[in-house]
Amino acid sequence: MQLLFESLFNGVAIGSVLLVAALGLAIVFGLMGVINLAHGELIMLGAYTTYVVQLIFKLPALQPVYNLYVLVAIPIAFITSGVVGILLERTVIRRLYGNPLETLLATWGVSLILQQFVRSVPLAQAAGVVLALVLGFSLPLVLPQDLLQGPKSRWVRAGSWGVSALAGVLFGSVLASQISKIARATSRNVDVTAPKWMRGGIEFMDLTFPVPRLVIIVITILAVVGVTWFLNRSVWGMRIRAVTQNREMSDCLGIPTDTVDVLTFGIGSGLAGIAGVAVSLLGSVGPNVGTSYIVGCFMVVVLGGVGNLLGTVIASFAIGLLTDLIGAGRLLTIWPDMPAPLESTVQFFATTSMAQVMVFALIVVFLQFRPAGLFPQKGRMVEA
Instruction: Tell me how far apart the alpha carbons of residues 99 and 94 are, in angstroms, rounded to a whole number.
Output: 11
Is this prediction's pTM over 0.95? no
Percentage helix, strand, coil, to 5, in the chain?
A: 75, 5, 20
Residue type, 50: T
**Domain coordinates of the chain in residue numbers?**
20-121+185-292
Q: What are phi and psi of 366, to 5 degrees?
A: -60, -40
Q: Tens of pLDDT along the chain (384 residues)?
A: 566 677 777 778 778 888 888 888 888 876 677 888 888 899 999 998 998 888 888 877 888 888 888 899 999 999 999 988 888 888 888 888 777 788 888 889 989 988 888 888 777 788 888 888 888 877 777 777 677 676 777 787 788 888 888 888 888 787 777 665 544 444 467 788 888 888 777 777 777 778 888 888 888 899 889 988 988 888 888 888 888 777 788 888 888 888 888 888 889 899 999 989 988 888 788 888 888 888 888 888 888 877 677 888 888 888 888 877 777 666 666 676 777 777 777 777 777 677 778 888 888 888 888 887 777 665 444 444
Number of neighbouring beta carbons within 10 Å of residue 231: 19
Quote the CA–CA distance of 53 and 131 in Å, as a whole number.
13
Which sign, positive or negative, has the C-alpha torsion 369, 373, 375, 379?
A: negative
The predicted structure's pLDDT at residue 380: 45
Residue 32's Cβ-side half-sphere holds a number of Cα atoms within 13 Å equal to 31
- Cα–Cα distance list, 171 to 57, 84, 159, 168, 342 (Å): 15, 18, 18, 5, 59
Distances (CA, A) of 116 to 28, 111, 186, 323: 24, 9, 10, 31
Give the pLDDT of residue 129. Answer: 85
3-state per-residue secondary structure call for 90-123: HHCHHHHCCCHHHHHHHHHHHHHHHHHHHHHCCH
Tally of helices (H runs) and strands (E runs) in the chain: 16, 2
pLDDT of residue 74: 92
Report the pLDDT value the prediction gives residue 180, as an integer from 0 to 100: 59
Residue 209 phi/psi, 5-degree rounding, is -105, 110
Integer angstrom CA distances of residue 107 from 35, 110, 260, 266: 8, 5, 20, 15
- Going by their DSSP bridges, the two strands 201-204 and 207-210 should be labelled as antiparallel
Return the bridge partners of 202, or none: 209
What is the pLDDT, as a whole number, of residue 42?
Answer: 92
Beta bridge partners of 210: 201
Instruction: Tell me what pLDDT residue 178 has.
Output: 64
